[in-house]
Chain A
Amino acid sequence: MGRVDRRQFLKCSLCAAGGMILPGVLPNESILGSGGDASAAVAQAALSQVEARYYKKLEHKEIQCELCPRECRVGDRERGYCGCRENQGGTYYTLVHSYPCSAHVDPIEKKPLFHFLPGTQAFSIATAGCNLNCKFCQNWEISQVRPEQVRTYHLPPADIAAYAQESKSRSIAYTYSEPIVFYEYMVDCARAGRERGIKSVVITAGYINHDPWLELISEVDAIKVDFKAFTEDFYRDVCQGKLKPVMDALVDLAKSDIWYELVYLVVPTLNDDPNDIRRMSRWMVKELGRDVPIHFTRFHPMYLLKNLPPTPVSSLEKAREIAMEEGMNFVYVGNVPGNPGENTYCPACKRVLIERVGYRIIQMNLKDGACTHCGKSVPGVWS
């Protein structure tokens, strides 16, 4: 565990351009060479002991987690699938409350959230752990490890809110790994941020049970869901999860007032079937409405899927075309800087509302949430 003062921390965060700070598995440089008692050489893991929410106690010190659809039954001294919640004597604890392993100030467009306070910064944090295991995970070095296997910082919610304010971030983003697994910390940070007028955005796979999901929706200001695919096979074989709970979570979002956007990472040969994308688009139009933005983003070989090539840009453009044919109004191409599919177009007059290159905004033709060309109101949170 590292200890930094606020000034050092902010300096680190703001200087680490283009990437997270603090990630990575503990380094191996200092071999057991000092002799004597090895206990002195044991890494001091920084783990919290804050009682988890959404679980029930069973007989014989077992518990059942009720946070996500896995609903892990966890024996005494064992952990759930996420690796960051532990049963200690029949009480379930989160081990990561106030111990993020990553923190950075990012453009909100990086999340990506294109219709939520464009051009602003998000103070972005993550802890170790995830309740899925996607073979293409870009951040597996923090999402697929246990909290004691990464460097952490002690940053209670009040400090997170203060850092966000000092860095002139308009929002706190819970991102990089899977914030569902640090639910308690996320909710506490959101409340601390709200006291300072700072919004909260959640970047998640949406693999969560109904009750904690509804509570989370009431605590934060925007959510981006990684919609991994539109087949159960993909969720099972590539992510070790299920599609249905994610669809249910999306319908919950549609019924709420919260702003949300979707990302669909297009993985060659695994979820790029145009028929599936068309079926998904039809489902979205019917269940979520035409105005929810969806970003078709480019896959790069990573983690356990290094055998596949990067997604051809033509596949992303085809997916975008299909979704627009089916009636979706805001369909983007992601991870392809300079592609016209990064821009927001007015659904009425078809002219450019927001021109982007990567995470930068080049021009913005919106005033009071409406197109400056034709006056059409554009859904989103603009100020």
Chain B
Amino acid sequence: MGKSKIVVVRSSDVIRASGKVNTELLARTVEQGLCRLTSEEEPADAISHFYSPKDKIGLKVNCLAGRMASTHPEIALVVADLLKTIGIKDKNIVVWDRSSRELKEIGFPLNANGSGPRCFGTDAQGVGYSQELINYKQIGSLLSRVMESFTNVQVNLPVLKDHSLSGVTCALKNYFGAVHNPNKYHDDGCDPFIADLNQVPQIREQQRLVVCDALRVQFNGGPSYHPQWAENFGGIIVGEDPVAVDFVGYQIIDRIRRKHGLPDLEKAGRKPKHIFTAADEKHKLGMASLERIELVEMRI
């Protein structure tokens, strides 16, 4: 079994002193990360590894925790622009999460059918959840119709954070926002629920690429925003393997925690078990060890 390639690209200037994102620099960061991931020279060729002009693409962001602890809208817009360079039409790009209110609150431009990529929550009128229950392992949920009816493949755009229950929230946990009842999956550190949910065929088959927002990393006290524990890491993590992305994110959080004199997540009693469950023989969703990951770290 081969290694999973993960690219971490950092730029100390991508978040300006004002706190705003340097969009131009962010675009270069994402593009270079994707090129390195795919060994391509051109960003359009890189994104073509994962998507074709026929696809209807969902950009699944995480915007539950307010403006300061959610996926930056700029990342979604950069990825959407990149998708358009390979001929994907605006109407076939949907930036989405659980609710339109939360998307709007953190600065996503809601857009049902106007010009530009579409953007709305599962709770928008006419969207909602599937009629049929997913009944799979420990999962009993209705799936967002964004995944069922509006898109056929996803770009996973999570935000890397510490999480009081699961230890880490990143790519795997981002799909909690795709079902109607995530509150039912919080027991036992969300394990094995996160892994089981990612193994559901409707989700697993749509997962192609992760572009993780690690611009500002909430390394303690998450998933809520606490400024005293938020680090301007200035990074993005890209990869095909969501488990490996989460594993690398886990290492980054622990590294930042050590720098700030905090115990590792495991010592703090919240080792992200779900990452290892997702990698186990029953799930085989990806790699969760450094020996199985080809980690490339870049700086711009």
Contacts and interface: CB of A to CB of B under 8 A. Distances in A.
Interface string A30-47: 111111111101110100
Contact of B123 (A36, A42, A306): A42
B128 A27 contact: yes
A228 B129 CA distance: 29
Interface in A29-87: 29-39, 41-43, 45, 60-62, 72-73, 75-83
Contact of B142 (A25, A29, A72): A25
A80 B113 contact: no
Given A39-B104, A76-B224, A81 B126 contact: no
Interface residues of B, number: 42
A144 interface: yes
A146 B183 contact: yes
A33 B183 contact: no
B290 interface: no
A37 B104 CA distance: 11
B110 A35 contact: no
Nearest to A82: B183
A377 to B, nearest CB: 46
B135 A43 contact: no
Most buried by A among B118, B119, B127, B187: B127
Contacts of A34: 112-113
A75 B164 contact: yes
Contacts of A80: 183
Given A38-B119, A39-B110, A83-B181, A73 B164 contact: yes
B127 A72 contact: no
Interface string B96-129: 0001110010000011111000111101111111
A60 B123 CA distance: 30
Given A81-B186, A144-B184, A303-B133, A38 B223 contact: no
Contact of A303 (B65, B126, B140, B223): B140
Nearest to B163: A75
A174 B53 CA distance: 53
Contact of B145 (A28, A36, A81): A28
Interface in A114-157: 133, 135, 144-146, 148-149
B114 A35 contact: yes
Interface string B52-74: 00000000000011100000000
Nearest to B102: A77
Contact of B127 (A28, A35, A145, A146): A28
Query: SS class of chain A's interface: helix, strand, loop or mixed?
Result: loop
B113 A32 contact: yes
Interface string A257-283: 000000000000000000000000000
Contacts of B128: 25-28
A304 B112 contact: no
A218 interface: no
B166 to A, nearest CB: 12
A201 B119 CA distance: 46
B180 interface: yes
A26 B65 CA distance: 24
A256 interface: no
B226 interface: yes
B133 to A, nearest CB: 7
Nearest to A83: B183
A81 B121 contact: no
Contacts of B101: 42
Given A27-B128, A42-B100, A81 B184 contact: yes
A363 interface: no
Given A36-B113, A73-B164, A78-B223, A42 B183 contact: no
Interface string B183-204: 1101100000000000000000
B163 to A, nearest CB: 9
A126 B160 CA distance: 38
B180 A41 contact: no
Interface string B126-155: 111100010100001010010000000000
Interface in A280-338: 303-304, 306
Top 3 A-B pairs ranked by shortest CB distance?
A38-B112, A76-B224, A31-B126
Interface of B: 64-66, 99-101, 104, 110-114, 118-121, 123-129, 133, 135, 140, 142, 145, 164-165, 180-181, 183-184, 186-187, 221-226
Interface of A: 25-39, 41-43, 45, 60-62, 72-73, 75-83, 133, 135, 144-146, 148-149, 240, 303-304, 306
21 contacts: A25-B129, A32-B112, A32-B118, A32-B124, A34-B113, A35-B114, A36-B112, A36-B114, A38-B110, A39-B110, A42-B99, A42-B110, A45-B123, A76-B65, A78-B223, A81-B186, A83-B181, A83-B184, A144-B140, A149-B180, A304-B133
Given A36-B114, A39-B104, A42-B123, 6 more contacts: A25-B142, A41-B112, A42-B100, A42-B110, A146-B181, A306-B135
